[in-house]
Structure 1
């Protein structure tokens, strides 16, 4: 258990994409802090394993399997969570997938699937969770995006486009949610060792273990708009985006080894 982490004011949290990677680790971190966690993902068997592991650590994770691309199912799940566990104080919208893409061959299906899950799925979850929060004038939403949303990276044209959209989405919603008493944050991790990043065909600087990434996200709850780490890497990417395009493309291609690939 991570006894040193205390999640103030959060009794019930909903975590999507909780069957693996960052979502799973965040669910365990929150449960270890005494939060009742409602975990959603498509794989009910993986959610059952997550619930058992949390119980073994003295925490509570309840499985609410579902596909985030089904907005009606997400609305039903939120209603079920609030009926059984209580009002959702925190929603960590993390569900997503990474499909590496190239210009040739151009895979339209990969783009559509990525957009449906990463962007459409997040919007559907917001539609399910926000009405209750805004009615109560309380709650917090964390949208898990990525530093790939800062600027284009090799093989990430589909994934990065959705993450850039999620950052913009969170920024745009903040203006309204600030007036409605609901917090919103965006989490932009650097490279984290998950099943998704194992698909990357280039070197990943400052690769972080998933448990540490989860701790960083939980520690960042309520602390400013953006949760990003490790800053020694993510702030370099922010700075790169300020460069003229010719220099940006040259430096990124060199840093990733893409200038040597055919």
Structure 2
């Protein structure tokens, strides 16, 4: 199917749940044609049924580079050139010094970091050739500071922040905009695994609203909620000794 919409065509990875799903529905309601990707076809079909003719399922495991390239080509063949992409696929499992396992770290790196890179490659190539497009990468405020229990997860998000910042000036020379999204705690299936208090928790719908407004305004960094933004940036600015004085209190007694 090829079609034009008032807003354009957007590809969202990690679209079957959480922030990705909320964004897919929100943008579809706003007039976007949405290519929705995630591993579970059944979940994608349920999503597409909520906005028939606006959301189109493209099942994908972002850790598979060859498949990611093929899905990108198929989307542009079916729906036309992409105007925007939101790379939101991600996973989380608590890890740290007490329970560190390389296999657990590898799984998070494969999805959060390598999976983003796999989608970023064809997007950059096609958008920079056309000299038009917008790419938003989902990271996290966890990328600002190393926090107990989030060793590998935070490391992947820090890498995405660095990657996006490094590429932005180059991409802009070809009229391609890069943005980084750094949410705090959002009520999603991933955060539902947490067994600790999550300050300033917001809904996925609230997150999608903030992200949409940030993308519309052209902001580079979309970080929210504001209370978490202030707390995490103050922590980041502290001398190391003071940071560790605070983060030592986050080590759980049972670890």
Which of 146, 153, 156 is the equivalent residue of 2:147? 153
- Output one character per residue of 1:80-104: Cα deviation in whole Å (capped at 9) or x when no partner: 1111111100000000100111322
Unaligned stretches of 5+ in structure 1? 1-7
Is 1:69 paired with 2:66?
no
Residues 150, 191 of structure 1: alpha-carbon distance in 2 compared, 3 angstrom cutoff: same
Equivalent residue number for residue 46 of structure 1: 43
Aligned to 1:5: none
TM-score (ref. length: structure 2): 0.94
For 1:128 and 1:45, the matched residues in 2 are separated by 26
Worse overlay, 125-134 or 101-110: 101-110
Q: 1:17 matched to which residue of 2?
A: 14
- 1:71, 1:128 within 8 Å by CA — same for their partners in 2? no
Higher alpha-carbon deviation: 146-155 or 103-112: 103-112
1:131 shift after superposition: 1.1
1:15: how far off? 0.1
Q: In 2, distance between residues paired with 1:10 and 1:218?
A: 12
Question: Alignment partner of 2:108: what SS?
Answer: helix
Q: How far apart, CA to CA, are the structure 2 residues paired with 1:259 and 1:247?
A: 19
Cα displacement (A) at 1:124: 0.5
How far the C-alpha of 1:197 sits from its partner, in A, is: 1.0
| 2:6–2:31 contact (8 Å) kept in structure 1 | no
Take 1:116 and 1:174, find their aligned partners in 2: how far apart are those partners? 23
Match of 2:28 in 1: 31
Q: Kindly state the Cα deviation for residue 260 of structure 1 after the two structures are TM-superposed.
A: 4.6
For structure 2, the 5+ residue unaligned runs are none
TM-score, with normalisation over the residues of structure 1? 0.91
| Residue 232 (structure 1) shift | 2.0
RMSD: 1.6
**How many residues align structurally?**
250
Q: Provide the C-alpha distance between the structure 2 equivalents of 1:87 and 1:223, rounded to a whole number of angstroms.
A: 20
DSSP-derived class of the 1:220 partner: helix
CA contact (8 A) 1:10 1:90 kept: no
Tell me the secondary structure at the aligned position of residue 129 of structure 2: helix
SS in structure 1 of the partner of residue 229 of structure 2: helix
Q: Quick check: 1:174 aligned with 2:168?
A: yes
Superposed, 1:1-262 pairs within 5 Å as 10-55=7-52, 60-221=54-215, 222-254=217-249, 256=250, 258=251, 260-262=253-255
**Whole-angstrom CA distance in 1 between matches of 2:104 and 2:51:** 34
